[in-house]
Amino acid sequence: MGSHNGFTVEAVDCRRTSCTATIGWKSFTQARATKNTILYKHYGINCGVTVHLPEPDPNRAVDSEYRSIVLFDCEEARNGE
């Protein structure tokens, strides 16, 4: 799913009903442009997906690397709802 879509999956941490993924982009602009690829992809299990894209530090260059967290909330899927 990653680099050919403009981002890389750098880390994943899963618990009982949720996972977080650290995603890296070349820039905040690219993150905003490709976030829907993550939001609307079918992952094989029906989980809620939230992409957190806080504004980057204003002291950093506009096109500097950008990292953020994606939350996969699978509690409803685990409970069969």
Is the predicted pLDDT of residue 34 greater than 80, yes or no? yes
The pTM of this model reads 0.80
Element (H, E) at 75: helix 75-78
Is it the case that residue 80 has pLDDT exceeding 80? no
The alpha carbon dihedral of 30, 26, 38, 67 has a sign of negative
Q: What are phi and psi of 34, to 5 degrees?
A: -115, 5
pLDDT tens-digit series, residues 35-75:
999 998 888 778 899 999 999 888 887 779 999 999 999 98
Distance CA 49, CA 73 (A): 6
DSSP 13: E
**Which residues are 18's β-sheet partners?**
73
